[in-house]
Amino acid sequence: MAVQKKSRTKKSLVELSTGASRSATPPLGLRYALMVAAIATPLLAIYFYPYPRAGAMAAGIHSYLSLYAKMVGAAISLFEPRVAVLGDTIAGPNFSVQIVKTCDAMDVTILLVAALAALPLSFGRRLGAVLASVVLLVLVNVIRICVLYWLGAHAPTWFHRAHQTLAPLCMVACGTVIFLIAISQAVPRSSPDEVGKRVRS
């Protein structure tokens, strides 16, 4: 009887400690949200920080935006051969556009990368999902800027409405769709037996 009481006491202590550790662990949804915030916050701070114009970071960002302008200019040249890229400015015969911060959709990109990098998947699956999603989002953003350039050159009354309202909403929607597609492809599908084990556990 004494042995049984001791074993029951040990079992109850183990159950209590296990329950306490589970209660101390944040829920999965909260942990995921905290992980996304931990990844996105420093990246957004680095990108949006107002660096001195004469500093190395400002020069690096300007060089990056100039390269982005060249990429967009190459796409615009497909329907506007007389376009020229001067630094971070794309100049055409009737309209010009300057590529500045957020024109590259970096805010949406950082949030998308953080949301994918925080997923409880293997490193290879997360890396593949991040790379494919970033490439797809850059392609969508280049198309967005091309459309805005065309509107500025041929339908200027629509440019400001599209640039300030429709285009940002479009990028957020596209980022959400890309995220859903990425996780549908990256997350391994569980067999019925595995699902049953998870439910029972």
Q: pLDDT tens digit string along 117-152?
A: 999 888 999 999 999 999 999 999 999 999 999 999
pLDDT band at 20 (very low <50, low <70, confident <90, very high): very low
Structure tokens given for 129: 């999902």
- When pLDDT is averaged across residues 108-119 and rounded to a whole number, the result is 95
Note whether residue 167 is domain-resident: yes
3 state SS of 151: helix
Q: Would 45 be classed as within a structural domain?
A: yes
Rounded Cα gap, residues 46 and 81, in angstroms: 36
Better-predicted residue by pLDDT, 16 or 114: 114
Q: Which residues pair with 89 in a beta bridge?
A: 86, 98
Whether 80 maps to a domain, the answer reads yes
The partner residues of 120 in beta bridges, in order of sequence, read none
Check pLDDT > 90 for residue 26. no
Range 83-108 average pLDDT: 94
Asked if the structure places residue 3 within a domain, the reply is no
In a domain? residue 166: yes
Q: How many domains does the chain have?
A: 1
Comparing 133 with 14, which gets the higher pLDDT?
A: 133
Span 95-109, average pLDDT:
94
pLDDT, one tens digit per residue, over 144-184 is 999 999 999 999 999 988 998 999 999 999 999 999 988 88
The predicted pLDDT at position 61 comes to 95
In a domain, residue 8? The reply is: no
Higher per-residue pLDDT: 197 or 170: 170
Give the contacts of 38 (CB within 8 A, at least 6 positions apart): none
Joined together, the tokens standing for residue 44 give 């957004």
**What does DSSP assign to residue 27?**
P
Q: Does some domain include residue 92? A: yes
Amino acid at 134: V
Output the pTM of the full model. 0.78
d(C-alpha 150, C-alpha 76), whole Å: 9
Q: Are strands 96-98 and 84-86 parallel, antiparallel or unpaired?
A: unpaired
Query: Alpha helices, DSSP H only, in 51-166?
Result: 56-76, 106-117, 123-154, 156-161
Range of the domain at 173: 28-186
Query: Token pair of 47, please?
Result: 């990108």
98: phi then psi, degrees, rounded to nearest 5 = -105, 130
Helix (H) or strand (E) holding 86: strand 84-86
Instruction: Check pLDDT > 60 for residue 34.
Output: yes
Let me know if residue 93 belongs to a domain: yes
